[in-house]
Amino acid sequence: MDFWMVLREKSAFAGLVIVLFVLFVAIFAPILSPADPLQQNLADNLSPPDKSHYFGTDELGRDLLSRVLYGARTSLALGILPILFATAVGIVVGIISGYAGGLIDEVVMRITDLLLSVPYFLLAILIVASFGPNLVNAMFAIGISFIADFIRIIRATTLAAKEDDYVRAEKAIGAGHLRIMFGHILPNIISPVLVLITLKISEAILAAAALSFIGLGAQPPTPEWGLMLSGTRDYILSSPYLMIFPGIAIIVTSLGFNLLGDGLRDLLDPRYKGLI
Amino acid sequence: MLAFFALNAAPGDPTQIVLGQHWTPARAAEIRTRLGLDKPLLVRYFMWLYNASQGDFGRSYATHEEVRVMILHALPISLELATASLMIALPVGALIGIYSAIKRTSPLDYISRVFVVGMSSMPIFWLGLVIIDLFAVQLPLFPTGGMGSSLSIVLPACSLAFYSLAGIVRMTRSSMLEVLRKDYVRTARAYGFSERVVTYRYALRNALIPVVTLSGLYVGTVIGSAIITEQVFAWPGLGSLIISAVFRRDTPVVLGGVLTVAVFYLLINLCIDFVYVYLDPRIKLG
């Protein structure tokens, strides 16, 4: 899979553009924002979108456009960091478990069973509940709740790869287990893992927004899209625009990763093309 | 097996900053003894496990009500919402999925695919908010939340159904497409059966098998969405109970609620295994 193929696949390309755009916004939020996202101005609160505030202002008079732009930072961090954590754990544990088999595999599988016996969002709520609601714990919780998926899938691909000729060849020339696992099996199974990462980031962004929405993720006054939406229910009569922009921001970001992941999967496995 | 997922719930246990508005060390110690919090964590855990297996989840720290009573009160309310939305989502989702697969690349197929991708990128609570805005505020047809009247269930059920629909459409469609190009479908066509018979008698039954398997995995997502939907629409079910208990640090209620949901989750997956056997007689339960 090389980079130029990604550009030729329509949905992957669209997804890539969206993802890069959101990354750009997140990085350059301070330059792009017309105002300080935390600056309150109670005299000018709940003003509908106009020339001075393109997206309007929220209940504390903060500029909504700036908050949405800065929110890209929090939301991307909440989506990407937990998944990187889950991927790292998944790769190490999954490959070892699949490669070693036997008792290790059995124990690992029972632990993932345990994690999977509670719906993942409930697991995240539970973790945040026991360690206290804040941004770091939310990331941790989301990371943990996705670990089992990663371990399972990486283990399954390792099981298949383990029987391939190149692994036998490596064994025949006396390569060590570590070298076979991480020097040879890992590069061979990395493409499906990339697809998984992309698709799961989209899920994690939604889960993070939902956690923040119910008050268990980012805490005020952090600009975070889910959190920004959670207050809007009270103003739905007077200011429906409050919920439009953060919502669209979440959808666009999540859609970008979804399209990219779907597109990458089609590229890797043309059998599924058009089947979603 | 029960012990197994109860262990999951254990991390929520060690929180004792509860009854303490009038907190003094002496009173705190007294309360701790009364609630059994002075015992070592492991002992408490096994006591809780033992009691829970007898259906006794203890009492709420905050209201002193029996957790069992609170759960038994909230559970039917949640089930009502879940049943209502499934009754909409399952048939509609399956139908759209089937048509989308038969009439591949038709405008309907295209719309349904856009719908699926869009839905899987949309946060459920935002969908809920938009639905409230449209059908309770702009067009005041339904109440915005709570369960005051018989119409209250319409909006939360529709919003949850809409959301589950996307997954069902996606699974049915891809599974139907897979089956429609199998040899036995071609054989059935070659025998001269009508397209209708081929689709529903031969293809659909086989296509349902992977759908049933996948739906087992999908149940978890739906439960998560249901918790949030209850929150958005102030629906006083199990999800709302758990979340409000989390905020009050009311550990027994959280544990009891989570355990109940986990038991239901496993029961549903067990039922799915049975449906599986019914659909495919080749499979036997071990």
Residue A64 CB neighbour total at 10 angstroms: 26
Q: Which residue does chain A place closest to B259, by CA atoms?
A: A118
Partner residue facing B125 (CB), from A118, A210, A276: A210
| Whole-number pLDDT of residue A273 | 46
Partner residue facing B125 (CB), from A113, A115, A229: A229
Cα A29 from chain centre: 20
B38 SS3 class: coil
Which residues from A are below 8 Å from B113, CB to CB? 276
Which residues 91-120 of A are in CB contact (within 8 Å) with B? 113-120
Q: Does A129 touch chain B (CB under 8 A)?
A: yes
Contact call for B224 and A119, based on CB within 8 A: yes
Partner residue facing B4 (CB), from A117, A122, A209: A117
- Tell me which residue of B255, B263, B195, B277 sits closest to B49, measured CA to CA: B255
Which residues from B are below 8 Å from A258, CB to CB? 117, 120-121
Cα B188 from chain centre: 38
Contact call for B129 and A247, based on CB within 8 A: yes
Look at residue B135 and tell me whether its pLDDT is greater than 50.
yes
CA-to-CA distance for A101 and B68, rounded, in angstroms? 42
Q: Which residue does chain B place closest to A215, by CA atoms?
A: B247
Beta-carbon contacts of A36 under 8 Å, excluding residues fewer than 6 positions away, are A63, A66
- Tell me which residue of A214, A212, A194 sits closest to A154, measured CA to CA: A194
Contact call for B173 and A115, based on CB within 8 A: no
Contact call for A119 and B261, based on CB within 8 A: yes
Contact call for A117 and B265, based on CB within 8 A: yes
Token digits for B8?
């999951």
Return the number of CB contacts < 8 Å for A and B.
149
Which residues face A57 on adjacent strands? Answer: A63
CB-CB contact of A268 with A275 (8 Å): no
Q: How far is A267 from chain B (nearest CA, A)?
A: 17
Which residues from A are below 8 Å from B223, CB to CB? 119, 121-122
Residue A48 CB neighbour total at 10 angstroms: 13
Residue A270 CB neighbour total at 10 angstroms: 9
Which residues face A63 on adjacent strands? Answer: A57
Which CA distances in Å does B24 have to B13, B28, B30?
22, 6, 10
CB-CB contact of B121 with A202 (8 Å): yes
Contact call for B120 and A202, based on CB within 8 A: yes
From the number of C-beta atoms within 10 Å of its C-beta (0-12, 13-18, 19+), residue B1 rates as exposed
Q: Does A148 touch chain B (CB under 8 A)?
A: no
Which residues 200-239 of A are in CB contact (within 8 Å) with B? 202, 206-207, 209-210, 213-216, 226, 229-230, 232-233, 236-237
pTM: 0.82
Q: How far is A220 from chain B (nearest CA, A)?
A: 16
Which residues from B are below 8 Å from A259, CB to CB? 117
Contact call for B174 and A276, based on CB within 8 A: yes
Which of B50-54, B159-163, B247-251 is predicted with the least confidence, judged by mean pLDDT? B50-54
Look at residue B42 and tell me whether its pLDDT is greater than 60.
no
Q: Which residue does chain A place closest to B138, by CA atoms?
A: A237
Look at residue B25 and tell me whether its pLDDT is greater than 80.
no
| Whole-number pLDDT of residue A7 | 60
pLDDT per residue over B253-278, tens digit each?
887 888 888 888 888 888 887 887 77
| Whole-number pLDDT of residue B264 | 84
Residue A141 zone, left/alpha/beta (φ > 0; ψ -120 to 50; rest): alpha
Residue A54, φ and ψ in degrees, nearest 5: -60, -35
How long is chain A? 276
Look at residue B24 and tell me whether its pLDDT is greater than 70.
no
Q: How far is A236 from chain B (nearest CA, A)?
A: 7
Q: Does A153 touch chain B (CB under 8 A)?
A: no
Which residues from B are below 8 Å from A250, CB to CB? 122-123, 126
What's the rounded mean pLDDT across residues B80-86?
87
CB-CB contact of B71 with B260 (8 Å): yes
CA-to-CA distance for B41 and B15, rounded, in angstroms? 11
Contact call for B243 and A275, based on CB within 8 A: no
B144 SS3 class: coil
CB-CB contact of A100 with A181 (8 Å): no
Partner residue facing B243 (CB), from A120, A214, A236: A214
Amino acid at site B174: S
Look at residue B16 and tell me whether its pLDDT is greater than 50.
no
Q: How far is A29 from chain B (nearest CA, A)?
A: 23
CA-to-CA distance for A90 and A102, rounded, in angstroms? 18
Residue to mutate among A131, A233, A257, with most B CBs inside 10 A, is A233
Q: Does A132 touch chain B (CB under 8 A)?
A: no
| Whole-number pLDDT of residue B4 | 41
Which of A92-101, B146-155, B195-204 is predicted with the least confidence, judged by mean pLDDT? B146-155
Give the confidence band of B2 by pLDDT, cuts at 50, 70, 90.
very low
Amino acid at site A74: T
Q: Looking at per-residue confidence, does A8 or B26 come out higher?
A: A8
- Tell me which residue of A199, A276, A259 sits closest to B178, measured CA to CA: A276
CA-to-CA distance for A201 and A261, rounded, in angstroms? 9
Q: What is the DSSP letter of B200?
A: I
Arithmetic mean of pLDDT over chain B: 75
Give the confidence band of B9 by pLDDT, cuts at 50, 70, 90.
very low
Q: Looking at per-residue confidence, does A237 or B25 come out higher?
A: A237
Residue A215 zone, left/alpha/beta (φ > 0; ψ -120 to 50; rest): left
pLDDT tens per residue across all 276 residues of chain A: 455 666 667 778 888 899 999 898 888 888 777 777 767 766 666 667 766 666 667 766 677 788 888 888 888 998 899 999 999 999 999 999 988 888 999 888 888 887 777 788 888 887 887 777 788 888 988 998 899 889 988 998 888 888 888 888 888 888 888 888 888 888 888 888 888 899 899 989 998 898 888 888 888 778 888 888 887 777 766 677 778 888 899 999 999 998 888 888 877 765 544 443
- Vertex B182 angle, CA B176 and B185, to 5°: 85
Partner residue facing B174 (CB), from A236, A251, A275: A275
Cα A149 from chain centre: 13
Q: Which residue does chain B place closest to A255, by CA atoms?
A: B121
